[in-house]
Amino acid sequence: MKCIVIYFSQTGNTEKIARAVHSGVKKAAGECELVKIKDVNPHRLQEYDLVGIGTPVFGYREAPNVRDFIKNMRFVGGKHVFAFATHGTHGEYFASGIAPKLKRRGMVVLGVKDWYGDCFIPGAPDPYPTAGHPDEIDSREAEDFGRKMVDLSKKIYKGHNELIPSLPKAPKVSLKQMLEDAQKVEAARGSVFKHQQTPKKYDPKKCLYPKCHLCMDNCPVDGIDMTVDPPIIAKPCMHCMFCAKICPTGAMDGDFFYDTPSEKTWKSYPEFHLDAIKQAEAEGKFRRLVPEDEIGLNNPYYKTYNKHPWWIIGKGLNG
């Protein structure tokens, strides 16, 4: 049985879970490849019997580059697939969003699972409500999930189609309605509910290119090209602001750190995030590692980590 686990990760949360899932798949199947999404050709997956796809949650769904990858998948009709994700306080729309996309590619969806992970958005609280995740307990769960996906796949390939699970059900409140309701609360409290962030400016005088090309190398959608004049910045853009976080000089939109939609949301409507994990905790879906009174509601990350680069690849926060 030939298997592959494909993943996208920026801060390491999804990579940690992907490695654990891969371990479980490999133990059950005997072999399995673990590959970053940028190193996989979506047109060349026909040789695999079981495909796993991992992503962080961006805007309550799979990351845009992962969404594009799924759209571009070819020759996968009848193949088995599962998906997994890491997210902050709101991950409830992931499963019901990604599963139909995979089914539309003609694949048999065996399962979708998500885990909480720490978030490192400059305007978000430090520590974040989900800080500490994913931990070793999460990793053991992920390894078990990978093993179960292989066991289920083997049985279904042998003809036990009655074991194919139903697609995940969407939450009772649609994503559109949830955001509209949140916007009304924020408007009443004098704030603006926005989530898309794009580099506002680029300062060529601060840029170290061609000595440094971190932004080009790490843009998930290849939306930055410093080799042309004028440079191409954020075309396309998935609004992750990773380019600004990893820029060593602040050439890429330094003002971003001090005026983020995330901070406005946390200041005017903190219960939008906190109530979600309280409910998940009550349902046994969330293990709180940070006591509620220790969440840094008045201490956004950028106040502590306020120098460039804000994030060091392979190491994390710079400070």
Question: So what's the pLDDT on residue 252?
Answer: 85
Is residue 243, in this structure, part of any structural domain at all? no
Mean of pLDDT over the chain: 93
* Euclidean distance between CA atoms 122 and 193, whole angstroms: 16
CA dihedral 72, 76, 78, 83 (to 10 degrees): -60
Q: What is the CATH number of the domain that holds 25?
A: 3.40.50.360
Helix (H), strand (E), coil (C) string for 69-89:
HHHCCCCCCCCEEEEEEEECC
> What pLDDT, in 10s, does the model give residues 108-134?
999 999 999 999 988 899 999 999 999
Is residue 217, in this structure, part of any structural domain at all? no
Residues in CB range of 125: below 8 A, 6 or more apart: 266, 295, 296, 297, 299, 300, 301
Question: So what's the pLDDT on residue 196?
Answer: 52
> What pLDDT, in 10s, does the model give residues 242-299?
998 999 999 987 666 555 667 778 888 999 999 999 999 999 999 999 999 999 999 9
User: What residue numbers bound the domain in which 114 lies?
Assistant: 3-163
| Nearest one of 301, 300, 219, 299 to 252, comparing CA atoms | 219
| Nearest one of 202, 192, 319, 310 to 262, comparing CA atoms | 192
Backbone angles phi and psi of 21, in degrees to 5: -60, -45
Is residue 310, in this structure, part of any structural domain at all? no
> What pLDDT, in 10s, does the model give residues 15-73?
999 999 999 999 999 999 999 999 999 999 999 999 999 999 998 999 999 999 999 99
Is residue 258, in this structure, part of any structural domain at all? no
- Count of domains for the chain: 1
Is residue 139, in this structure, part of any structural domain at all? yes
Backbone angles phi and psi of 179, in degrees to 5: -70, -40
Q: Pairing between strand 316-317 and 311-312?
A: antiparallel
Is residue 251, in this structure, part of any structural domain at all? no
Question: So what's the pLDDT on residue 200?
Answer: 61
Question: So what's the pLDDT on residue 262?
Answer: 74
Question: Could you give the 3-state DSSP secondary structure of residue 33?
Answer: strand
User: In the predicted model, is pLDDT for residue 206 greater than 80?
Assistant: yes
* CB of 22 closer than 8 Å to CB of 54: no
Is residue 73, in this structure, part of any structural domain at all? yes
Is residue 297, in this structure, part of any structural domain at all? no
Question: Could you give the 3-state DSSP secondary structure of residue 309?
Answer: coil
pLDDT classification of 198: cutoffs 50, 70, 90: low
